Amino acid sequence: MALLQDTRKLAQLLLKDRKIDRSGFDQIMTRLTEKSKTVTGKQGHYSKAVEQNGADVIRFISGLNIRSAGRKNKVVGEDEIVKSVAAHFKLPYKKLDPLDLDINVVTRTIPKPFALKHMIVPLSEQDGVLNVALIDPESHEAVDGIARVTGKKINTILASPDDIQRIINEFFGFRSSVSKAEEQISGPHIDLGNLEQLNRIKRPDQIQSNDEHIKNAVDYLFNSALELRASDIHVEPKREVSLVRFRIDGLLHEVYKVPKGIHQAIVSRIKMLSRLNIAEKRLPQDGRIRLEYEDGSSEIRVSTMPIAFGEKLVMRVLRQEMLLRDMESLGFFPEDLIKLERSLHKPHGIVLVTGPTGSGKTTTLYSALGLLANSEKNIVTVEDPIETICPDFNQVAVQPSIGVTFSSSIRTILRQDPDIIMIGEIRDYETAENAIQAALTGHLVLSTLHTNDTTSTITRLLDLGVKPYQINSSVVSIIAQRLVRIVCADCAVETKYSKKKLASLGVKIDRSEVALKEGKGCQECRFTGYKGRTGIYEALEMDDTVRRMIQEGQSVISIRKHALKHGMTTIRDDLVRKMLKGVTTLSEVLRVGSGF
Ligand SMILES: [Zn+2]
């Protein structure tokens, strides 16, 4: 019997390859016997397990979570099993990355039912050779079928059942929705007897965005963005097509090309979901969509902008579990975390988080509020716009067009008996004054400012017109932050650097030599060498000396000198510290740290 139709044979291969040990093998055999008994019992007349395909056999073994023989804290998953199978048949194994595939090759070669039945997907084409991913190299029927239909030579690649299933769902789902919608819009099947169809042609805009296929395509779009951990989705009309790009760990990747005819329908659907004015196409608009799914929820912040070839959409994906995190998981070094938590537990005062846009300030603020939230505290936020809806907070959105500004909102909130107030951003004197007033009347206030570091925040407040005594009586601490990319754990290698070499790059260390990590690129990190991002921080706690220096009008430079002498570590120090710990790389230090 073929290898992937026989669980025992496959288990023997894994044992031979030292993927599992003897007890793992016995575990598989025991469960196999149990399983065939159940099958026999149910069906009554089967002497052994019903016929299965390769995907079932692989999933059966990986579903048992057998401990890996080589790496004790890992279990043998689909990928490990498929790697063994690939080596056995001397075929290449590939971890499928949706961002690498050509949607036209994937979906136009074979129909979805065929792909699903045989668990096979064409990936790309090169010089007349079609690269096809499948699970069972001994199931020739499917490969022969594709070769016959396309007339092309087939290059077989093995991939895991999960990967193949995901590609089929994602690509065929999106593609078929888009092409069905395209058919309807260009209208080759007009039934003149059907009034509804006529209506469609008369009022394409309105009908299109409600079209079932467009709805599906947009759903698929959001699903794949979540699956790929995208932070932003861009839908950009070009002259011929519309491009869909995802930002993942800070970099943009092109994911789909959508026919130009569909662009406006997709934009309208998204505008409708975010309650924007669909008819208004000449002015920029902002809105939001709430997505609920099985294990959580996300908020999509939508902004539209008219450009030369139509309306461009940029959507920011805000995952609640990403915004509201454990303070420890934000990347604070223990001493900075202690400083921050000490400030957060003060009964009143202002805690400021500063940095440019996209430096993770909001995550820090939300997580801090999450830490403070309990049923005895009334937490109120004023935001522009509300980043994500949290049931634990009372959130107010600023709407300057109807006169609801930061400062008018704070005045209203103060009459609502709050304990903790979060102000999205301090941009003007009025808001600053209201924040100070709130702090002086017994509230803890958290807010952000657009400044580079902790000490320049003091200058910024003075520039806004805040008096030194106002700062001194309210501000308890200032946190400045940035984000850096985290080295991919799957492909990191160490390189030794001497103190001299690093000094020549402007990086000071106290040892004569260090080993630094750098990702060499792998499937897991899409060959970027990085996976995820973490914060780097500088925390300034206001002490009596700092207050006196502000009062005396001393320069920011001398305040900074004092803070550094008393143990403040700078963003750059934190960055170098994270590089030495192997969290991030020298290249990130040179890239992010050049501004300090
Ligand atoms: Zn990697």
pLDDT tens readout for residues 422-437: 999 999 999 999 999 9
Tell me whether residue 162 is in a domain: no
Question: Does residue 206 have a pLDDT over 50?
Answer: no
- For residues 549 and 434, membership in a common domain is answered with yes
Question: Does residue 467 have a pLDDT over 80?
Answer: yes
What is the reported pLDDT for 292? 80
What is the reported pLDDT for 208? 46
Cα of 228 from ligand 1 centre, angstroms: 15
Give the mean pLDDT of 282-305: 85
Cα of 481 from ligand 1 centre, angstroms: 26
Cα of 88 from ligand 1 centre, angstroms: 25
* Cβ atoms 364, 481 nearer than 8 A: yes
- For residues 307 and 222, membership in a common domain is answered with yes
Cα of 109 from ligand 1 centre, angstroms: 31
Where among 255, 289, 321 does a domain terminate? 321
Tell me whether residue 43 is in a domain: yes
Cα of 447 from ligand 1 centre, angstroms: 36
Q: Which residues pair with 465 in a beta bridge?
A: none
Q: Which three-class secondary structure string do you get for 371-390?
A: HHCCCCCCEEEEECCCCCCC
Q: Which residues pair with 305 in a beta bridge?
A: 312
Cα of 523 from ligand 1 centre, angstroms: 6
Measured on CA atoms in the order 246, 248, 250, 253, is the torsion positive or negative? negative
Contacts of residue 319, defined as CB under 8 A and 6 or more positions apart, other chains included, come to: 226, 296, 298
Q: Which domain holds residue 402?
A: 324-487+532-581
Cα of 583 from ligand 1 centre, angstroms: 13
Cα of 521 from ligand 1 centre, angstroms: 4
Cα of 275 from ligand 1 centre, angstroms: 40
Q: Ramachandran region of residue 526, left (φ > 0), alpha (ψ -120 to 50) or beta?
A: left
pLDDT tens readout for residues 161-200: 989 988 887 777 787 788 777 777 655 433 333 333 333 3
Number of domains making up the chain: 3
CATH number at residue 480: 3.40.50.300
Q: Give the whole-angstrom CA distance, residue 595 versus residue 264.
A: 41
Q: Which of 375, 329, 434 is nearest to 423 (CA)?
A: 434
Cα of 366 from ligand 1 centre, angstroms: 30
Cα of 495 from ligand 1 centre, angstroms: 16
Tell me whether residue 476 is in a domain: yes
Cα of 202 from ligand 1 centre, angstroms: 52
pTM value is 0.67
- For residues 399 and 278, membership in a common domain is answered with no
CATH number at residue 209: 3.30.450.90
- For residues 237 and 343, membership in a common domain is answered with no
Tell me whether residue 277 is in a domain: yes
What is the reported pLDDT for 43? 47
Question: Between the CA atoms of 114, 118, 121 and 127, what dihedral angle is there, to the nearest 10 degrees?
Answer: -90
- For residues 403 and 540, membership in a common domain is answered with yes
Tell me whether residue 270 is in a domain: yes
Q: Ramachandran region of residue 229, left (φ > 0), alpha (ψ -120 to 50) or beta?
A: left
Tell me whether residue 58 is in a domain: yes
- For residues 354 and 246, membership in a common domain is answered with no
Give the mean pLDDT of 85-94: 94
What is the reported pLDDT for 201? 32
- For residues 387 and 284, membership in a common domain is answered with no
- For residues 341 and 440, membership in a common domain is answered with yes
Q: Which of 434, 99, 120 is nearest to 248 (CA)?
A: 99
Tell me whether residue 334 is in a domain: yes
Cα of 528 from ligand 1 centre, angstroms: 7
Q: Give the whole-angstrom CA distance, residue 136 versus residue 152.
A: 20
pLDDT tens readout for residues 439-452: 999 999 999 999 99
Where among 321, 337, 353 does a domain terminate? 321
- Cβ < 5 A residues, ion ligand 1: 488, 490-491, 519, 522, 524-525
3-state secondary structure of 19: coil
- For residues 303 and 330, membership in a common domain is answered with no
Cα of 589 from ligand 1 centre, angstroms: 19
Q: Poorest-confidence range of 65-69, 317-321, 550-554?
A: 317-321
- For residues 449 and 311, membership in a common domain is answered with no
Tell me whether residue 181 is in a domain: no
Where among 37, 61, 89 does a domain terminate? 89
Cα of 515 from ligand 1 centre, angstroms: 18
- For residues 303 and 451, membership in a common domain is answered with no
Percent of the chain with pLDDT over 90: 47
Measured on CA atoms in the order 524, 530, 533, 536, is the torsion positive or negative? positive
- For residues 329 and 315, membership in a common domain is answered with no
